[in-house]
Amino acid sequence: MTQGGRARGTDRRTFLKTAGAVAGTAVAAGFPAALRAQAPTVKIGTLHCVTGPLAEPGQACRLGAQMAADAVNAAGGIKSMGGAKIELILGDTQTKADVARAEAERLINAGAQILMGTFNSGDTAAVVPVAQQRRVPFLVDISAADPITANVAKSVRDGQQKVQYVYRNFPTGTLFGQRAVQYFTEIFKEAGVSPKRVVVMHANDLFGQNQARGFQAAHKAANPSWEIVEVISWPEPPSDLSTEVSRAKAAKPDVIAPITRPASAQLLLPEIVKQRLDIMGIVGPGSPGLYEAGQIAALKENLEYVMASNPWPNFKNPRTRQVSEEYAKRSGGKTFDTNSGYSYDGIFVLADTLERAKSTDPDTVVDALKKTRFTGGLMVYGGPVIFNEMGDNPNAIPAMIQILGQKPVVVWPKDVAAEKVVFPRPKR
Amino acid sequence: MDLTLVGQGLLSGFLFGGVYSLMAVGLTLIFGVMRVVNFAHGDMMVWGMYLAWLLSTRAGIDPYVGFIVCAAALFLFGLMIQRGLVERIVDAPHEMQILLMLGVALVLENAALVAFGPDPARVRSPLSQATVWMGPIFVDVARLVTFGLAMALTAALWLFLARTDLGRSMRAAADNPYGARVIGTDVRKVYAAAFGVGAACVGAAGALVSPILPFQPTSGLGLSVTSFNIVIIGGMGSLPGAFAGGILVSVAESMGAVFLSPSMKELVSFGLLIAILLFRPAGLFGKTAG
Amino acid sequence: MKLLILLAVAILAALPWFAGSYLITVMIFIFFYAYLGQAWNIVGGYAGQLSAGHAAFVGIGGYAAALLSAHAGISPWIGMWMGGALAAVLGAVIGYLGFRFGLRGFYFVLLTVAFAEICRVIALNVDAVGGALGLYITFTGNPRQFQFQDNRAYYYVAFALMLLATAVVRAIERHRFGAYLTAIRQDESACEALGVDTLRVKMQAMILSSFLTGVGGTFYAFYLFSLQPNAVFGIPLSVEIIIRPIVGGAGTVMGPILGSFILSPLAEISRTYFAQGGWNGLHLIVYGVLLIAVVLFLPQGAYPALLRLARRPPA
């Protein structure tokens, strides 16, 4: 095949093709976003990873957001703005940072005045500069990596940026760790037992590592009566966890603390049973894979009595139960949980902010956001939704959920518990 | 060092090698005969797994029986791909071949996503939790069965290539396509059959492995990379190579998980791959032709 | 025809002044991936040594610049050359091992994949470089830190990078070096028989290619502000790098550029129009089918097909 060196006489074709492609792209992408529509709608760009390896939680987030928007509109929209309806413009990050960035721009181009998303911390970080550059308020509904807001707060403090446009209504990795250690200690005390040896087993991906580190750091700071004797991780997704579980067994654990994803949980839990680990229980510091409807269906009795400290909807609130039923219908039987719940609450937080801001001007919205004291959320919170100087909500807390009777229920803290915690787990 | 742990690691690794071998057999056949690198290998296997899952959940057919259906379905698919796509670019540059199979992989992965959703699935089989204990060490029955089936499948394929006319034509075409044409072999038909049989192996492997490995639409890439590793280490185009390579890689990874850190076990298999590529690129059982 | 090239360049240079930010972002990615594809083209297209592990160089370049900026206060404008140099070192190692031991075709492909995966696993597990959390770069918008408040500045940087790489490849094509590369690609044994030091030539191509790719890594880091081991060392990025030159025509000057101008808009359009409904993933099926179609109907690449079309006698 001989090409090359003959670029001369045919550049016209290439040029026309190039120009055509550019023009075509311009038409398809739309020239500068034209006049924003008057009164009736507020456009919120909703950006999640609905395809790619994290498609399952991404799709849950999107559905949660859509349901919330429908609910807000059904109740009359943003009353202080003449009943303006919320319109969601949907975006897919494909679980890739560069796509996330391009999608954020596309949504803003299509008229989005506020952004919400994206679930995966790595992709969320790629959207942050867009929010700062274009001055678009960005509410992170789910992403635990501390730097996402901390970096922006720092650059505002250092005077490199004027205004912080990025806010997060979700626990940070640090907060997850602190609460997990706290719940572990409290639950052991409540059960009247003192397990000494805890083995942490975690997926070696972004979330898993972040959680594991946060848990270990919090443990060191709190110095409770139980020790983390070993930390075992695996590449996610794993094909085989038999050696990892063998290693855990060799460390003579009283409690296994797993941080998984759905795929690894499906391998880990049966393996723990197969290798006959003699433990008081499986208590997770917080991760997916241990409570979803699909996981319960796949793991059945292997998941019974397993606990995980996750952000969870507060089912003591009758509204939550209603929404959860509707969610089950619209999603084909899935549980209303961490992801769908926080995306749902995210839209409501934004609606509340807009009510107070009475406008979509970015700086006005940010001012109103900073002053938020929202109590209408469906999740378990430690207080009203507020935003601190980092832009995070310190009242967004996880709760310890346990699979009892093949259903996930909140068992700790006591004031939001639906049932009594079962620990140690009964012998088979 | 905890000897029980090492012993268990060796045993678990050895048995899991059967799973790896199954994955590699179909790939080595396709490359050995046609010199086509099937980048859609992992995604085809995922479809085999999903078909087995469908049979298990909708028709109650156990994957250890249903794998025949999966093999047949993927055989047809392989034929289609070969006749419809691969054949047409047989003279195109290598990179086009790669691009073609990448496109097929992308379509397969997202078709699975649309059809089955993003949740990981696993096929339950009565053997799922069965274990046999020998003192402090245990044997995972499901893996033992899969190991046996991997041996059986490799042996069956070996017989096919050695004893049947079609098999012998495949080997002839693999060694010397021009010569094969000269003596009257319909090379096109042989290639189609090779791709089909290779795909059938991949489908069977997927079905047989589905009770052991949880899978999602995006599992394909990881399976492809692992399979390529095994096939290179064992020797491209060599059936005993795929079998031995599978066991070697699995044991190496298991020992890596025992002695280093489990999250670094992939480094062991890649290190092994590089060593083989440099010092014996034909692989352990391959013919030195490079 | 130089006039037409200049015209195209002028139009593209003027584009940011009348285009919206979304279009500018799309163009930035077109230019950036064209740049990476052009860098790959040197060793993968012209020399015919297919590498499917070029993401490793992007990762090394990006991580190096980000870490130097965060821990040593070195501006990425300087850090990018150091990142490129580091990537070139890895490229030299891979090249030497591969070429010295005579790995050709698919075996070389797999060697490059293995090295990229090793880099990925190391980055994932070494806390000092961020581990699985990756590196998050603070957005300051400060040009001294290779960051810009305005998207348009990034546009010009990406555009300049693409032009630079294209100029390099064009120069190679006219130089004896380019002739060596093409000859090696067509028949390496014959080359050796004629006395060409194929090892040295291939090494030079590999080092140049990996250096340029590493420099690109810095752009990636300071445009996306997020470096994740799986994203930046992973196979999907390597695939993104190679499909553009392959579609456009590997081993041609305009190939990577044309390929990028075809594929990036296609991806955007298929995502805009096919990703709305309940069928998540449909837009990627469409994209995959398009890739297959390109292979079937343009088996030599888009640019050579255009050349043939233009050379057909009129009517």
Domain boundaries, chain C: 44-234, 254-315
Mean pLDDT calculated for residue range C76-96: 93
**Number of structural domains chain A divides into:** 2
- CB contacts, 8 Å: B31 with chain C: 106
B177 is written with which tokens?
């396509």
- pLDDT for the residue A374: 93
Residues A322, A357 share a domain: yes
Backbone angles phi, psi at A136, to 5 degrees: -120, 120
Token pair listed for A19? 């120009």
Q: What does the pLDDT read at residue A30?
A: 44
Closest CB from C117, C125, C246 relative to B96: C246
pLDDT of res. A218: 95
**Model pLDDT for residues A328-349, shown as the tens digit of each residue:** 999 988 889 999 999 999 999 9
Which residues, 6+ apart, have CB-to-CB distance to B192 below 8 Å? B79, B82, B83, B87
CB contact under 8 A, C133 and A151: no
In chain C, which residues have their Cβ closer than 8 Å to the Cβ of B91? 299
Residues of chain B contacting residue A263, judged by C-beta atoms under 8 Å apart: 120, 214-216, 219
State how far the Cα of C268 lies from the Cα of A98, in Å rounded to an integer.
12
- Is position A144 within any domain? yes
Same domain flag for A125 and A219: no
Yes or no: say if A248 and A232 are a contact pair by the CB < 8 Å rule: yes
What distance in Å separates the CA atoms of residue B62 and residue B94, rounded to the nearest whole number? 40
Q: Which helix (H) or strand (E) holds A92?
A: strand A85-92
Partners of residue C287 in chain B, C-beta under 8 Å = 106
pLDDT of residue A33: 42
Q: Are residues A221 and A362 in the same domain?
A: no
Q: Phi first, then psi: give them for residue A103, nearest 5 degrees.
A: -65, -40
- Count the alpha carbons within 13 Å of A57 in the hemisphere toward its beta carbon: 24
pLDDT band at residue A1 under the 50/70/90 scheme: very low
B110 interfacial to chain A (CB closer than 8 Å):
yes
Give the minimum alpha-carbon distance from A420 to chain C in angstroms, rounded to a whole number. Answer: 36
Task: Work out the pLDDT band at A68, boundaries 50, 70, 90.
Answer: very high
Q: Which residue among C26, C138, C173 sits closest to A29, beta carbon to beta carbon?
A: C26
Contact C295 B89 (CB under 8 A): yes
Q: How far is the C-alpha of A389 from the C-alpha of A153, rounded, in Å? A: 7
pLDDT score at C276: 63
Whether residue B121 lies within 8 A of chain A, CB to CB, comes out as yes
Residue B133 lies in a domain: yes
Q: Which residues of A touch B123 (CB under 8 A)?
A: none
Task: Give one DSSP letter per residue of A4-68, joined into a string.
Answer: SS--STTHHHHHHHHHHHHHHHHHHH-SS--PPPPTTEEEEEEEE--SSTTHHHHHHHHHHHHHH
Per-residue pLDDT for chain B (290 aa), expressed as one digit of tens each? Answer: 678 888 888 998 999 898 889 889 889 888 888 777 788 999 999 999 999 999 998 888 888 888 999 999 999 999 999 988 888 887 778 888 888 999 999 999 999 998 998 888 888 887 777 888 888 888 888 889 889 988 998 899 889 888 888 888 888 887 777 777 787 778 888 888 889 999 999 999 999 989 888 899 989 998 998 998 899 898 888 888 999 999 999 999 888 888 887 777 888 888 888 888 888 878 888 765 43
Of C51, C110, C238, which to mutate for an interface test with B (greatest number of B Cβ within 10 Å)? Answer: C110
User: Looking up tokens 């047409």, which residue turns up?
Assistant: B88
The CA-based diameter of chain C, rounded to the nearest angstrom, is 66
In a domain, B187, yes or no: yes
* DSSP state letter for A425: P
For residue C53, give the DSSP letter: -
Q: Does B18 touch chain A (CB under 8 A)?
A: no
Contact status of B122 with chain A (Cβ, < 8 Å): yes
Per-position b or e across B58-96, b if 16+ CB within 10 A of its CB:
eeebbbbebbebbbebbbebbbebbbebbeebeebbbbb
Q: What is the pLDDT of residue A256?
A: 95
Q: Are A194 and A272 members of one domain?
A: yes
Query: Token digits for C141?
Result: 């918008």
Would the CB atoms of A266 and B119 count as touching at under 8 Å? Answer: no
Instruction: Pick the residue from chain B with its C-alpha nearest to C280.
Output: B114
* Residues A82, A201 within the same domain: no
- pLDDT number for residue C18: 87
Task: Summarize the confidence of residues C231-257 as an average pLDDT.
Answer: 92
Maximum distance among all alpha carbons in chain A?
86
- How many residues are present in chain A? 428
Give CA–CA dist C251/B96, Å, rounded: 13
Find out whether A313 and A336 touch, Cβ atoms under 8 Å. yes
Residue in C closest to A159 by C-alpha: C140
Which residue from A10, A14, A101 is facing C224, i.e. has the nearest CB? Answer: A101
Chain C interface includes A5 (CB < 8 A): yes
Give B-chain residues touching C243 at CB under 8 angstroms.
99, 102
CB atoms within 10 A of CB B206: 31
CB proximity A242 to B under 8 Å: yes
Task: Find chains touching chain B: ≥3 CB pairs under 8 Å.
Answer: A, C
Is the same domain home to A58 and A199? no
Both structure tokens of A353: 């902010």
The maximal CA–CA distance of chain B, rounded, in angstroms, is 62
Say whether A250 and B4 touch across the interface (CB within 8 A): yes
In a domain, B256, yes or no: no
Q: How does DSSP assign A158-214, residue by residue?
A: TTS-S---EEE-S--HHHHHHHHHHHHHHHHHHHT----EEEEEEESSHHHHHHHHH
CA distance C6 to C20: 23
Whole domain around residue A290: which residue ranges?
Answer: 174-310+400-416
Does some domain include residue B234? no
C31: distance to nearest CA of chain A, Å? 12
What Å distances lie between residue C131 and A142, A150, C22, CA to CA?
A: 21, 19, 32
Over residues C166-183, the mean pLDDT reads 91
The reply to whether A209 touches chain B by the CB within 8 Å rule is no
Minimum distance, in Å, between the CA of residue C151 and any CA atom of chain A: 8
From B9, B119, B262, residue closest to A262, measured CB to CB:
B119
**Residue B55 neighbours by CB distance under 10 Å:** 21
Q: What average pLDDT does range C228-238 have in this prediction?
A: 91
Residues A243-264: what's their mean pLDDT?
Answer: 92
Q: Is the pLDDT of residue C288 over 70?
A: yes
In chain B, what residues touch C101 (CB-CB under 8 Å)? 277-279, 281
Percent of all residues in chain A with a pLDDT value above 90, rounded to a whole number: 65
Q: Which residues of B touch C103 (CB under 8 A)?
A: 277, 281
Q: Is the pLDDT of residue C1 over 80?
A: no
How far apart are the CA of C279 and the nearest CA of chain B, in angstroms?
Answer: 6
CATH number of A64's domain: 3.40.50.2300
Token pair recorded at residue B136: 């402090």
- In 3D space, the residue among B9, B3, B2 whose CA is nearest the CA of residue B138 turns out to be B9
DSSP bridge partners of A87: A43
Q: Is A27 on the interface with C (CB under 8 A)?
A: no
- Average pLDDT over chain A, rounded to an integer: 87
Are A340 and A296 in a shared domain? Answer: no
Q: Are residues A260 and A113 in the same domain?
A: no
| Three-state DSSP class for residue A248 | helix
CA distance A255 to chain B (A): 19
Residues A409 and A306 in one domain: yes
**Per-residue confidence (pLDDT) for residue A37, from 0 to 100:** 45
Closest CB from A28, A90, A105 relative to C265: A28
**How many angstroms away from the CA of B239 is the closest CA of chain C?**
18
Q: Which residue of A has its CA nearest to B140?
A: A274
User: Quick check: is A108 in a domain?
Assistant: yes
CA distance A273 to chain B (A): 8
Give the gap in angstroms from C-alpha B177 to the nearest C-alpha of chain A: 22
Asked if the model's pLDDT at residue A16 lies above 50, the reply is no
- Provide the pLDDT for residue A6: 40
A56 at interface of B, judged by CB pairs closer than 8 A: yes
**Quick check: A395 and A377 in contact, CB under 8 A?**
no
Minimum-distance CB partner of C224 among A94, A126, A148: A126
Residue A107 and residue A204 in one domain: no
Nearest to C113 by CA among A67, B145, B221, A401: B221
**What is chain B's alpha carbon radius of gyration, rounded to the nearest angstrom?**
19
Q: Does A243 touch chain B (CB under 8 A)?
A: yes
User: Which chain B residues contact residue C114 at CB under 8 A?
Assistant: 229, 270, 273-274, 277
Asked whether residue A324 is assigned to any structural domain, the reply reads yes
Q: A33-42, A101-110, C106-115: which has the minimum mean pLDDT?
A: A33-42
Domain count for chain B, please give it. Answer: 1
Contact A62, A49 (CB under 8 A): no
CA distances from residue B212 to A10, B58, B146 in whole angstroms, order as listed: 57, 19, 9
Q: Do B228 and C246 touch (CB under 8 A)?
A: no
Position B172 in a domain? yes
**pLDDT confidence tier of residue A236, bands split at 50, 70 and 90:** confident
pLDDT band at C241 (very low <50, low <70, confident <90, very high): very high
Do C228 and A122 lie within an 8 Å CB cutoff?
A: yes
Report yes or no on B159 lying in a domain: yes
Inspect the interface and report whether the beta carbons of C141 and A208 lie closer than 8 Å: no
Q: What string of DSSP letters covers A278-333?
A: --SEEEESS-TTSS-HHHHHHHGGGGTT-EEEE--B-TTSHHHHHHHHHHHHHHTS
Contact between chains at A10 and C311 (C-beta distance less than 8 A)? yes
Interface test with A, best of B4, B132, B218, B223 (most A CBs within 10 A): B218
User: CA of A96 to nearest chain C CA: how many angstroms apart?
Assistant: 7
